[in-house]
Structure 1
Amino acid sequence: MKTVKQYLASDFEAVTEIIKEHLNPNEVLVNDKSYELFISGGKKIRPSFTLLVGKLGESDKFPDVLRASASLELIHMSSLVHDDIIDNSELRRGRATVYYEHGYLQAVNTGNYLLSTSLSLVSTIEHRALHEAFSKAIRDIIDGELFQLDHQFNAHQTMDDYYRKIYRKTALLIELSIKMGAYASNVDQRTLDVLLDYGYHIGMSFQIIDDCLDFIGNEKTLGKPKFSDLENGHYTLPVLILRNEDPDFRRKLEAFDGEEEQLEELIEGLLRSDAIDQAISISNSHIREALTAIEEIEEPIRKYLQEIAEKLSNRLN
């Protein structure tokens, strides 16, 4: 049987053409940077979900699924540009970020341009529930970005605060990807509910793994410097686990204000502990829940959803 990449190859060619048509470089900085971000790659996970779910519905609706898939990739790209502003990031996918290279104003404009292009694509799909889900998700994603900004260097945030952040940062967009594919192709509600359960757990696992990779990943693979979350005051699951278990680490975290010496002490404490292993275990439990949720989804879609889940969980190896 084909891999998911092979199975969706022709569909992604069509999605790519749709995006290129809307991001045609024209020597205007915002357009050109948006196009560069698109062609620089990325896993294209979210549009993969839209395409796979769309194949469970009515085949004559698939052109709408393709446009929905393209819009999801654009909104994801928009969120990356805005994240780079919040995180003061120098690199994205191994390249200088728009924010680092051209400043705050151009980065904001680029993110907004990608978002408005995504909205333009969505408007061509005639489906009220799809439009409502899309607009609500955008609002919730922005709320999540503001919530993350408000909690920078907050050593007293709760685990619930962390899970709320990563849900809005990652799981919500994966759920939206599934909804878009389902609504665009008229997938039945029972199937959609099952797929949303899968999407929630995949999204939570995906972000927890990302948070672990910030400590133990390869910078070339990550496309950004290691330890950047901690350095920027974004306290992820391994940090919060160790904070709750180790009073000395907690005191150091409460005193942390971004100084390099303080950062090194925190990193050293984390790498000596088993907090990252505990976080990985929580991520793996979400993967198991995701796989259980789709046991009754028809083949070959179930097989490809399983493949994506397994690939995501293996990123740490």
Structure 2
Amino acid sequence: MVSLKTYLAPDFIKVDRLIRKNLEPAGVLSNDLSVGLYKSGGKKLRPTLSIVAGKLGNPDRMEDVYKVSASLELLHMATLVHDDIIDDSELRRGKETAYYKYGYFQAVNTGNLLLSTAVQMVSGIEHEKFHKTYSAAIEQIVSGELLQFNHQFNENQTYDDYYEKIYRKTALLIVLSVELGSYASHLDEVTMYHLTEFAHHIGVSFQIIDDCLDFTGDESELGKPKFSDLANGHFTLPVLLKRDKDEQFKKQLTEFKNNPEILDSLIGQILESDVLEESLKISSDHYDEAIAHLSDIEQPVKGYLLEIAEKLKKRLK
């Protein structure tokens, strides 16, 4: 079996052309910023999943699948630009963010351009559930950004709050990738169900790993400063687990918003405890659940989905 990159190379040539064509004309700053963000890399996980899902459906529908793939990459980029504004982030993928380099209004314009272009690209796709699913997902993504803001520095948030937040922040776009790729290629409902369950659990596992890497990862690989989630008041799974194990830690968490000098103390307590290992065990359980849904998926797609899942898990090594 050839590598995933080789397998999808012809497909990504077409997706790349679609994205570059739809981000023209150049010369407008928001367009140029969008192209620059696209060129800066990223895992291209969402377009990959939409193409792989599409290959299980009607091969005559692949042109629509390419539109989905390109659209989802632009939608993902839009969420990154808006997240950088909300989080006051200076770096993205190791480079200065549009927000820090050009200011609030240009960053907002760039995110809005990416979002509107993403929607326009798939406007001609015909499927009774496609556009309702896409529009509902965009509403959830936007409300998810508001939810994250509302829970900022909220030491009383529940685990349900946390999982809802990471679903809308990360897992939703991964699920949407296989959903829209499946709809565009008119895939059967049973196969689509297993793909979306795989995507859901992989998305949750992926985000929990990210939450842990915020404490243990290398900044050059993270593309952002370590501890930025906690510093910005986004209390992730390791923080919530530590909160429920240690009353003194919970008390400090309550004080943190008005006393940011205790950040180092909070970080130290997380690193010295077992909550990172506990979080990774929860991530691993979701990973196993995701893999279980691939048992009846046809080859070679099954093998490539396993490869994608394994690459996400290996970020810890």
TM-score band by shorter chain is over 0.9
Using the TM superposition, give the Cα deviation of residue 171 of structure 1 relative to its aligned residue in structure 2, in angstroms: 0.8
SS of the equivalent of 1:128 reads coil
1:25: how far off?
Answer: 5.5
> Once the 2 structures are TM-superposed, how far is the Cα of residue 250 of structure 1 from its aligned partner?
0.8
User: Which structure 2 segments of 5+ residues have no match?
Assistant: none
Q: CA deviation at 1:124?
A: 2.4
Give me the whole-angstrom Cα distance separating, in 2, the residues matched to 1:262 and 1:164: 28
Letter in 1 for 2:164: R
TM-score, length basis structure 1: 0.98
- Equivalent positions of 1:7-156 (< 5 A) are 7-24=7-24, 26-156=26-156
Paired residues of 1:152 and 1:233 also in contact (CA < 8 A) = yes
Residue 163 (structure 1) aligned with residue 163 (structure 2) = yes
What's the secondary structure of 1:153's corresponding residue?
coil
Deviation at 1:24, TM superposition (A): 2.8
Offset of 1:261 from its aligned partner? 2.5
Q: Deviations over 1:1-50 (max 9, x none)?
A: 11212211111111011000011352211000001000000000011110
1:151–1:234 Cα contact (<8 Å) kept: yes
Instruction: Give the structure 2 partner of residue 184 of structure 1.
Output: 184
Partner of 1:291: 291
Amino acid at match of 2:186: N
In structure 2, what residue type is equivalent to 1:101? K
Aligned residues: 317
Q: Please give the secondary structure, in 1, of the residue aligned with 2:257.
A: coil
TM-score by length of 2: 0.98
Structure 1 residue ranges (4+ consecutive) displaced by more than 3 angstroms after TM superposition: none
Conserved? CA contact 1:233–1:258, under 8 Å: no
Q: Matched residues in 2 for 1:135 and 1:192: separation?
A: 19
- Alpha-carbon distance between aligned partners in 1 of 2:258 and 2:289, rounded to the nearest angstrom: 37
Distance 2:252 2:147 in 1: 23
Q: Secondary structure at the match of 2:21?
A: helix
The secondary structure found in structure 2 opposite 1:77 is: helix
Distance 1:166 1:316 in 2: 19
In the TM superposition, 1:212-291 aligns within 5 A as 212-257=212-257, 259-291=259-291
CA contact (8 A) 1:152 1:234 kept: yes
User: Which residue is 2:193 aligned to?
Assistant: 193
Following the alignment from structure 2 to structure 1, what is the Cα–Cα distance between the partners of residues 259 and 208?
Answer: 25
Separation (CA, whole Å) in 1 of partners of 2:316 and 2:207 = 12
Instruction: Please give the per-residue CA displacement for 1:224-257, whole angstroms capped at 9, x wherever unaligned.
Output: 0000000000000000000011111111111102
Matched with 1:210 is 210
CA-to-aligned-CA distance 1:44-72 (integer Å, 9 cap, x gap): 00111100000000111000000010000
Q: Secondary structure at the match of 2:129?
A: helix
**Deviations 1:55-103 (Å, cap 9, x if unpaired)?**
0001110000000100000000000000001110000011111111111
Find the aligned partners of 1:13 and 1:247 in 2 and give their Cα distance: 54
| In structure 1, distance between residues paired with 2:136 and 2:113 | 19
Would the alpha carbon gap of residues 258 and 308 (structure 1) be closer, same or farther in structure 2, given more than 3 Å must change?
farther
Cα distance in 2, alignment partners of residues 80 and 5 from structure 1: 24
3-state DSSP of counterpart to 1:100: helix
2:32 & 2:41 partners in 1: Cα distance? 15
Inter-partner Cα distance in structure 2 for 1:150 and 1:246: 24
Q: CA deviation at 1:260?
A: 4.7
Cα distance between partner residues in 2 of 1:118 and 1:136: 14
- Give the Cα separation in 1 of the matches to 2:305 and 2:228: 31
Structure-to-structure mapping, 1:295-310, within 5 angstroms: 295-310=295-310
The amino acid of 2:298's aligned partner reads E
